[in-house]
Amino acid sequence: MSKINKILVVATGDLPNKSEGASTTVFYHFINYLLKKKNNIYLFSISQKKINNKVKKKFLNSFKNQNIKSLYTYNIKNYYNFNKFNFLFRRIETSKLDKITIKKIYNLKPDKVFALDIAAASFAKQIFSKKIFIWLGDLNFSTTWYHFYYNFKNNYKYFLYYFFVKIIVKKWKYFYKKTLLNNLCVSGSNANVNELKNIGIKSIYQPYPWTKVYKKINQKKKNKPSFLFFGNLVGLGSKSAMNYLIKNIYPNYESIWGKNGFKIYICGTYKLDENFKRKIKKLKNIKLMGYVYNLNTLASSCHACLFPIDVPVGNRSRIVTAMGSGWPIIAHENVAIGNPSLISGFNCYLAKNNHEFGLYSKLLYDKKYLCKKISLNAFNTYKSTFNLKKSLIKFGKFINE
């Protein structure tokens, strides 16, 4: 970028962070890149909780030798104007910003406005009529539907909510179309492209910048067939994967290695759902580890990482971590809908069903050289796609349109 642009970044939720969180980390790298390109950056952050001065100062000081021109924070009770009592009678819209704030942000007169996900884009549209650059994560109409789907699979009483969920999904689609129309959209998941196309919105996919990877270490593999399952344990990806692991993979592993012939380690940031915890207590070959500080050591001692995420939504950062860390990957084929850089037999193994999960797991246990081969290919794929430098070059082309 040769010209110095005045760019307003609009965000919701926690402030972008260099090392904590998933989307907040990605957003930090976007802002840091724009600063390095000598743009004048202004951040308008809208949050449902008050951001104290200590947090603001830490955020502003996290950019080395570069300064955000101004940070504007806005506290709001609810991002959206609907709740479970009125959603049937209202369209989904973001809550109204006050007139003083709208005028103050409008008077910045930015050359470009960059919104970090859908809520931020809607707030930005309350202020500006110009085209907005928008980065999109998981689509709310997709996640709403699939949360219902997996709840229903575990408890049939959720069928009672079917028609309500269908209404909410329709309302979300209308909100997305209204917000995104005539703007420039980039998605962090390839799965979004077709979903948005179906509602008349054009978008492109770009791998996001991801730095949460580990250095390759020489760690002896465990004697018993051992596999790692990790994630936040509460999100949609974890919910679908946990369901698939318990119902499909575990019994298949028993048929291959016997009742006590394998181990699955489950690690995560948050507390596991009680429903899953009760089921896991009956499965003696699964070990709940909680949060594991040195995940690299455990992952490197296992024969593969399991990602049985059959929900065709998102581009899971935990898989990108495994790619960049050189951990062998066995995943459900649906993850490649969001992350098309995954190619079965080259940099991972993608399973269509529980039989293939068992087949690929046994293959990587029996043939150690295949672990090295696909891990190296995955690492090289990471370097050419999600690596900080490579991904931000693509982002730069998008924001510079």
- Of all residues in the chain, what percent carry a pLDDT higher than 90? 78
Enumerate the H helices of 274-353 as residue ranges.
274-281, 295-301, 317-325, 335-338
Spatial distance between the Cα atoms of 69 and 106, rounded to a whole number of angstroms:
15
- Please state which of the four CATH numbers 3.40.50.2000, 3.40.50.300, 1.10.3470.10, 3.90.1660.10 is assigned to the domain occupying 226-385: 3.40.50.2000
In tens, the pLDDT along 332-387 reads: 999 999 999 999 999 999 999 999 999 999 999 999 999 999 999 999 999 999 99
Report the run of H or E that residue 396 belongs to, with start and end: helix 388-399
263 and 224 Cβ atoms separated by less than 8 Å? yes
> Distance between CA atoms of 385 and 382, rounded to whole angstroms?
5
Q: Which residue has the tokens 């004048």?
A: 40
pLDDT tens by residue, 99-130:
999 999 999 999 999 999 999 999 999 999 99
The CATH architecture of the domain made up of 6-209+389-399 is: 3-Layer(aba) Sandwich (3.40)
The residue ranges of every structural domain in the chain are 6-209+389-399, 226-385
Strands 329-332 and 349-351, how do they pair? parallel
Q: Do domains 6-209+389-399 and 226-385 have the same CATH topology?
A: yes
Report d(CA 86, CA 309) in Å as an integer. Answer: 33
**For the chain (length 401 residues), average pLDDT per consecutive 10?**
80 93 94 94 96 93 88 95 72 95 97 98 97 97 90 81 91 97 97 97 97 91 95 85 93 95 92 84 92 94 95 91 97 97 98 96 95 96 97 96 76
